[in-house]
């Protein structure tokens, strides 16, 4: 009996070692370019993704337009979570993405926000009253939420009235920071920055009706640098699943 056990031990050890090695081989990092508005949701999703798949996200946050330039200049991103649908589509047409990988992972919501409680009314009339000194928006040329903000102002007939009051952030994170630090009394931000589980978490806000601007469809795509990385495909598949969907919805996005 002792001899038999001794002969089996190396085989068992080899099996265990092979399984362990396979586990290591299957765990990969994926470099992800993430639109600034999606910072909080992706960090929440990352924890579950890493626990459920063993893969690790390495995330960079910024403006969609800036990411486009970086990708075209050879940045090492493998997955791109854009703040619009046009930039991933453009990259797709230019041959920079894995064919068939593009999909809409979220539809964003714009909000007019102030850090002050009660400052912004439920209908956004504070915008028309024009009693503020500074209005923060993201750069409309680089950030889809900034473009949506300019569309709202145009539909409300306020473009010329507020043009001298606009403080422009490089991306939606900076636009948010201008308001949160008091450098602007109010500003257009992504609802996800101030919203969790069905309510605005701090300050006061007007959730902008969707008909006042073009839909903020946010597409994800696997870039060519990620075509051979199983973690890239795993992330895209995970974003389509129910666990990620619940997190995305909790931050005020639609699917």
CA distance 239 to 227: 17
Reduce the DSSP state of residue 45 to 3 states and report it: helix
pLDDT at 11: 45
pLDDT at 7: 43
DSSP structural state of residue 219: E
Q: What is the value of pTM for the model shown?
A: 0.80
Q: Which domains does the chain have, with CATH numbers?
A: 2-107+216-250 (3.40.190.10), 110-207 (3.40.190.10)
- Estimate the crossing angle of helix 242-250 against helix 39-53, to 10 degrees: 160
CA distance 215 to 213: 6
pLDDT at 158: 97
CA distance 6 to 24: 28
pLDDT at 26: 61
pLDDT at 20: 40
Ranges of residues in the chain with a pLDDT under 70 are 1-26
Q: What kind and span of H or E run contains 205?
A: strand 204-207
Q: For 200-226, give one letter per residue: b (16+ CB within 10 A) or e.
A: beebbbbbbeeebbeebbbbbbbbebb
Cα 209 to chain centroid distance, Å, stands at 20
């Amino acid at each position: 009996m002792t001899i038999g056990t001794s002969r089996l031990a190396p085989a068992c050890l080899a099996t265990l070692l092979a399984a362990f090695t396979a586990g290591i081989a299957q765990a990969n990092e994926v470099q992800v370019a993430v639109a600034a508005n999606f910072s909080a949701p992706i960090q929440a999703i990352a924890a579950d993704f890493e626990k459920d798949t063993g893969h690790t996200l390495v995330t960079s946050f910024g403006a969609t337009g800036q990411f486009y330039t970086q990708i075209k200049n050879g940045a090492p991103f493998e997955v791109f979570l854009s703040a619009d649908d046009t930039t991933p589509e453009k990259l797709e047409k230019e041959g920079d993405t894995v064919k068939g990988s593009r999909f809409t992972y979220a539809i964003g919501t714009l909000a007019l926000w102030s850090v002050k409680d009660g400052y912004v009314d439920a209908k956004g009339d504070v915008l028309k009253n024009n009693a503020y000194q500074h209005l923060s928006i993201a750069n409309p040329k680089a950030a889809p939420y900034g473009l949506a903000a300019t569309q709202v102002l145009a539909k409300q007939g306020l473009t010329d009235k507020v043009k001298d009051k606009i403080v422009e952030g490089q991306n939606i994170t900076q636009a948010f920071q201008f308001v949160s630090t008091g450098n602007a009394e109010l500003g257009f931000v992504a609802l996800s920055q101030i919203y969790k589980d069905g309510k605005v978490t701090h300050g006061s806000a007007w959730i902008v009706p969707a008909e006042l601007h073009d839909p903020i469809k946010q597409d994800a795509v696997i870039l060519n640098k990620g075509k051979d990385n199983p973690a890239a495909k795993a992330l895209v598949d995970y974003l389509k699943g129910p666990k990620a969907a619940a997190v995305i919805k909790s931050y005020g996005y639609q699917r």
